[in-house]
A and B are shown apart, each in its own frame.
Chain A
Amino acid sequence: ETGVTQTPRHLVMGMTNKKSLKCEQHLGHNAMYWYKQSAKKPLELMFVYSLEERVENNSVPSRFSPECPNSSHLFLHLHTLQPEDSALYLCASSQELAFADTQYFGPGTRLTVL
């Protein structure tokens, strides 16, 4: 595997379910990100991790819970979601948490909440 991978690619869940999104980067990067992309809205940065420490949480509801067990893996745990949470969730990584560094994105998980 190369680059940034995300699983699953598609997920349908009910509002009472608990599920997790997984992201893995094979680039040796130290920073990882979760973004949400809803229809007709700009990309929203949700969480940022640098060297496994969370450095940003952009007022994201607590029903989204990130986890970064090591610099290569990032999870987004989901519980009691709402239909408006349906979106494309993108993971990205960069060499460091620095404004000059390029972020490389995974293919995304398309989430549908029923």
Chain B
Amino acid sequence: AQKVTQAQTEISVVEKEDVTLDCVYETRDTTYYLFWYKQPPSGELVFLIRRNSFDEQNEISGRYSWNFQKSTSSFNFTITASQVVDSAVYFCALSDFGGTDKLIFGTGTRLQVFP
């Protein structure tokens, strides 16, 4: 069965702190894709990253970085030097070959960055 767990319901930090959002997934497939989306208060889900299961290299994009570890089935997301504009709900999602092309979302982590 496919499942995505985001155990952190809500995180609060002060601006300039680093913060890591956890994502743990379950799948029986060896071929799958992992995604992170950001949902600001406006409501739109903004695509951040897609990673396939064969590429375990960590990725950095500006203040954002992602740590993919197949050994622990985790795909964690770190924001360095957080800013108020980072306040949003962040969703991790999984899509695998056996999942009839569905995107399985976690329940999201609400990040609040205070000035």
Contacts and interface: CB of A to CB of B under 8 A. Distances in A.
B95 A100 contact: yes
A107 B97 contact: no
Contacts of B42: 107
B20 interface: no
Contacts of B37: 105
A45 B96 CA distance: 16
Contact of A43 (B46, B100, B105): B105
Nearest to A40: B107
B40 to A, nearest CB: 10
Interface residues of A, number: 20
A99 B107 CA distance: 20
Given A42-B105, A42-B107, A102 B43 contact: no
Interface in A84-113: 88, 90, 92, 97-100, 102-108, 110
Given A88-B43, A108-B43, A108-B44, A103 B33 contact: no
Nearest to A31: B101
B102 interface: yes
Given A42-B105, A42-B107, A97-B101, A105 B50 contact: no
27 contacts: A42-B105, A42-B106, A42-B107, A45-B103, A48-B101, A56-B100, A88-B43, A90-B43, A90-B45, A92-B45, A99-B32, A99-B96, A99-B99, A99-B101, A100-B33, A100-B52, A102-B35, A102-B47, A102-B50, A103-B47, A104-B47, A105-B44, A105-B45, A105-B46, A107-B42, A107-B43, A110-B43
